[in-house]
Structure 1
Amino acid sequence: MPLLSWLSESTDERPDAIRVDDRSVSWVELRRTAAAVADDLRGVRRVAVTATSGLETVVAVVGGLLAGAAVVPVPPDAGPRERDHILRDSGAEVLLGPAGAEPTDPSGPPVVPVDLDRRSDTHHPEPAPEATALILYTSGTTGAPKGVVLSRRAVAACLDGLADAWSWTPDDRLVHGLPLFHVHGLVLGVLGPLRLGSRLHHVGRPRPERYAGAAGTLYFGVPTIWSRIAADPAVARALRPARLLVSGSAALPETVFGGLAALTGHRVVERYGMTETLITVSARADGPCRAGTVGLPLPGVQTRVMDERGDAVPTDGVAMGELQVRGATLFDGYLHRPDADAASRTPDGWFRTGDVATIGPDGWHRIVGRAATDLIKSGGYRIGAGEVEDALLAHPGVREAAVVGLPHPDLGQQVTAFVVGDGVRETELIEFVARHLSVHKRPRQVRLVDDLPRNAMGKVQKKLLPDV
């Protein structure tokens, strides 16, 4: 089956299949426009795409995939150093961009504008399933970003697993406003509809009122978006006719989960994944959704939680360890980085996510956070930052909270909270957490800040917090 099977076979010429901001195309028109791009890419092995939130990006990505090239999305706001690294490291031979795009580096690949008025009826043969579909660059929290090599087979396995879990069909209309250079916005949010047949409305900037006015059945968002929607009751109630609300890329605060349930009538589906694994764990549309948990492994995916000695931890919903994954959705490796590949795999072939998790007796997963920043070892205790953050967010005066462990001469690490709030005091918040959790989990220090540093997907950049 072709990777973009619905797009490849559809004869539907209705003009609203794919809408990006204020421009729409039919399935047939998208295929013909992308085929014209693919005609220009004959013989190109790797093609970079300036991944704006525009229709040109969708056409460029589809054109690259039709041509059998590996597509390398480039964040449109990437600084010169990051952009240069991605283009050079990936070996991109061409850079596709919006009309009017000009080269910024004479030594880089030639820039080819995407012309939305061109059409072609060329049939391009489907590449082998093991061929590379995408090279996505990680955020590079240590060193330069690494290129994650994802095969067409892995992308297809992920999307088919989500179709099963979410009952995702051609009857759906997907709405989101996520960036088109990450797994969430690009793989799920664009390639998903093109494989499974649901219509797509990308709203451009993800403002709550745009979500409310889109009349979708399936909505994707990150916690920042859902938090803003929950804070606007009229907008939230407009989502009641939807079939499913999905949150990912970071943990959804329980207060937001509860607020959305009350206003929209929907318990939000949470899921878990990484660039290297795609989506591996999710709640199901036909099952329960529980605040603070991300559900069960998708078909074809296996998970386990291991302690620091390499032993499996009890599946009691309490014991924490590193989540490890294997299955059909995993990446093929880091481009040009055999050292990073070796470090990311266990001797028996499992991928080390670096995320701390628990698995309950019923198999449900809860993600505690990143091992490097969210598992705090303080005074002999192992404390999950997410649990402390949830306790802080239960305080009516707290709008945002991020918790880290900072060095401490006696405790090893000190639980430290960074809080955005209204009229709250440090001692008040420390005592509040101590009343709701074990006393040893309370923050030893609360720093009140104006905002938290976040990346393009709304994830808090915890490594930057000490400098806030």
Structure 2
Amino acid sequence: MADVPLLTALHGGTDRADALTVDGRSCGYEDLLGAAGAVARRVAGAEAFAVRATASLETVAAVVGGLLAGVPVVPLAPDAGPAESEHILRDSGAEVVPVDFAERADFPARACTAASVTDTDAAPYGNAALVLYTSGTTGPPKGVMISRAAIAADLDALAQAWQWTADDTLVHGLPLFHVHGLVLGVLGALRTGSRLVHTGRPTPQAYAAAGGSLYFGVPTVWHRVVRDEAAARALAGARLLVSGSAPLPAPVFRDLRALTGHEPVERYGMTETLITVSARADGERRPGAVGTALPGITTRIADSADGVGELQLQGPTLFDGYLGRPEATAASYTADGWFRTGDIAAVDADGTHRIVGRASTDMIKSGGYRIGAGEVENALLDHPAVREAAVVGAPHPDLGQQIVAYVVAEGVSAAELTDFVAARLSVHKRPRTVHFLAELPRNAMGKPQKRLLPPA
């Protein structure tokens, strides 16, 4: 793998003027390499640099330029507030580098291989190609160091699982400062040679108009697509729809199947691990399941009760550690070397994984029962009046925890929703309290932010 360019399409791929389209602007591989070369010349010799990761050709050029120069790239969310930006820049030691896509320069691609060894191997960045910052749900955001080798291993495994080739046109409108939008959605296209259409914003209308064969989306995107029947039906000609970054509600899965003729592929991953589990393009897909482990990945369920417990991982896609935080890195692994995801999962007899939720927020222990929040959320979303749902456990003097639901719904009462869930699941899984909200708090990837919900 060490001799294989990470961005295969840029080194021998068939060029075309619209190989990449980002928010309405297109370019070919030659133009991208020229712009990236200008970035590489500017940052060569730096320890790291940051880029405001807007949905733009400039962001793509910055990331490719960092790979060419062997300098770690720190993508910054374009809407990050002053405090968050200051923390990331101070923590990483990186400075924001402006990018002019019109600039051109040649730069040797000596570092742009899957497992290249460059001067950046010295501490503190190691072999990092990217330093992606976590969402900070358990404290200040931490820098996750991801190597070229990990990226290459993951993209090759996904290309195999999804039958992803240069004949595809990948369409998505995801942020370019996360694994989903940047690593899979940009570097994946540049490794496989597939044409990329980034829609700027992931609207149903933009997805429908793009004419892609392979689509990436988060559950929020797919929920909006199925609410626009014309847009959903326009995706019938696609080859594969992929959902990730959060669990896809079962009703949305069923609606996509009915309107597009496609059962979406779900996959599972984290910033620290990249994508490790996925359904296959030629395999069974079912609601609530994220498929089987990718080649090279080994999983286990630890501390299980009734087959449910923490998902732990080993494999070549794992991160190189948290930047400047050796204690946090060590704490993320078990004594025998398994990465602790913090997610609660179950594995069926055929190896199919089901993610129940986060250990800290989504595993509710009520009256001696272990209840996954996602199961209750899916039951609530089956009610026609419910558009969004989030479920948490709240302290209860008798039960230990009680189930509390937050819903976006109209024309239905809390009692009706409680009875609705009790009729579909076990009675002990019904919400004891239901709060009605105008919308759920979500991050840029569409994940509900349960820590920002009003007090239960």
Determine if contact 1:60/1:114 at 8 Å carries over to the other structure. Answer: yes
SS at match of 1:373: coil
Q: What is the alpha-carbon distance in structure 2 between the residues aligned to residue 80 and residue 264 of structure 1? A: 42
CA deviation map 1:44-75 (0-9, x unaligned): 12111110111111111111111110110011
Q: Would you say 1:326 and 2:314 are equivalent positions?
A: yes
Regions of 4+ moved over 6 Å: none
CA deviation map 1:437-457 (0-9, x unaligned): 111111111111111100010
- Aligned equivalent of 2:8: 5
CA deviation map 1:111-158 (0-9, x unaligned): xx2111121233231264462110000011122100001111001111
The letter of the residue matching 2:359 is A
- Aligned equivalent of 1:153: 149
SS at match of 2:132: strand
Q: What is the alpha-carbon distance in structure 2 between the residues aligned to residue 166 and residue 160 of structure 1? A: 10
Which of 384, 393, 410 pairs up with 2:372?
A: 384
- Aligned equivalent of 2:123: none
Q: Would you say 1:95 and 2:108 are equivalent positions?
A: no
The letter of the residue matching 1:286 is D
Determine if contact 2:68/2:107 at 8 Å carries over to the other structure. Answer: no
- Aligned equivalent of 2:68: 66
- Aligned equivalent of 1:253: 249
Shift in Å, 1:408 = 1.1
Which of 197, 220, 227 pairs up with 1:224?
A: 220
SS at match of 1:416: strand
Which of 191, 196, 206 pairs up with 2:187?
A: 191
Determine if contact 1:129/1:151 at 8 Å carries over to the other structure. Answer: no
The letter of the residue matching 1:142 is T
CA deviation map 1:278-321 (0-9, x unaligned): 000000001111111000000100101111xxxx56xxxx6210
Which of 267, 278, 283 pairs up with 1:282?
A: 278
The letter of the residue matching 2:350 is D
SS at match of 1:209: helix
Q: What is the alpha-carbon distance in structure 2 between the residues aligned to residue 75 and residue 397 of structure 1? A: 34
Structure 2 spans left out of the alignment, 5+ residues: 118-126
- Aligned equivalent of 1:237: 233
Q: What is the alpha-carbon distance in structure 1 between the residues aligned to residue 226 and residue 116 of structure 2? A: 41
The letter of the residue matching 1:95 is V
Q: Would you say 1:416 and 2:404 are equivalent positions?
A: yes
- Aligned equivalent of 1:138: 134
- Aligned equivalent of 1:166: 162
Shift in Å, 1:382 = 0.6
- Aligned equivalent of 1:43: 45
The letter of the residue matching 1:341 is T
Q: Provide the aligned length of Structure 1 versus Structure 2.
A: 442
Q: What is the alpha-carbon distance in structure 1 between the residues aligned to residue 286 and residue 362 of structure 2? A: 21
Shift in Å, 1:8 = 2.6
Determine if contact 1:45/1:68 at 8 Å carries over to the other structure. Answer: no
Q: What is the alpha-carbon distance in structure 2 between the residues aligned to residue 440 and residue 263 of structure 1? A: 34
TM-score, L = length of structure 1? 0.93
Structure 1 spans left out of the alignment, 5+ residues: 97-112
Q: What is the alpha-carbon distance in structure 2 between the residues aligned to residue 26 and residue 369 of structure 1? A: 41
Q: What is the alpha-carbon distance in structure 1 between the residues aligned to residue 108 and residue 12 of structure 2? A: 11
SS at match of 1:372: coil
- Aligned equivalent of 2:120: none
Q: What is the alpha-carbon distance in structure 2 between the residues aligned to residue 262 and residue 66 of structure 1? A: 44
Identity %, equivalent residues: 66
Determine if contact 1:270/1:295 at 8 Å carries over to the other structure. Answer: yes
